[in-house]
Amino acid sequence: MNREAAVSKLKDIVKPYIKDQEAFENLTESTDFINDLKINSANLVDIVLDVEEVFGIEIDNVSMEKMTNVNAALEIIDTKLSEK
């Protein structure tokens, strides 16, 4: 999957949880889920579960601990997809 398609899928996943619409519209790879998008930390779990479902991957705990921004999420998705 190319990066653009992955970003687009990821945007659809995070959309229901964001609390800062402007930061969401200007989302880049350095966008932070909590600091920028103001996502509630408990909803990060939902994002991890949604990413697992949508991309058909399993995110282990070591990978999950880094998943605090768009770039890290994309890296993890990429790595897990290549392991499939």
Partner 1 sequence: MIGNDVVDLALARKESNWKRNGFLQKIFTNKEQFQIENAQDPEQKVWELWSRKEAAYKIWNRENMIRLFNPLQFECLTEASGLEKVSFENQFFFTKTIVSQESIQTIAVCQKSYFDNIIHHPNRSGIVKENGIPFLNNKSVSISNHGRFESIVSIL
Q: What residue ranges bind partner 1 (CB under 8 A)? A: 17, 35, 40-46, 48-49, 52, 61, 64-68
Q: By C-beta, is 6 or 44 nearer to partner 1?
A: 44
Q: How far is CA 37 from CA 13, 24, 45, 46, in A?
A: 13, 6, 15, 15
Question: Rounded to whole angstroms, how far apart are CA atoms 84 and 77?
Answer: 11
Smallest separation (angstroms) from partner 1 to the CB of 72: 9
Q: By C-beta, is 5 or 42 nearer to partner 1?
A: 42
Smallest separation (angstroms) from partner 1 to the CB of 26: 20
The answer to whether the beta carbons of residues 73 and 10 sit under 8 Å apart is: yes
Q: How many CB atoms lie within 10 A of CB 63?
A: 18
Amino acid of residue 70: V
Smallest separation (angstroms) from partner 1 to the CB of 54: 14
Q: By C-beta, is 2 or 70 nearer to partner 1?
A: 70
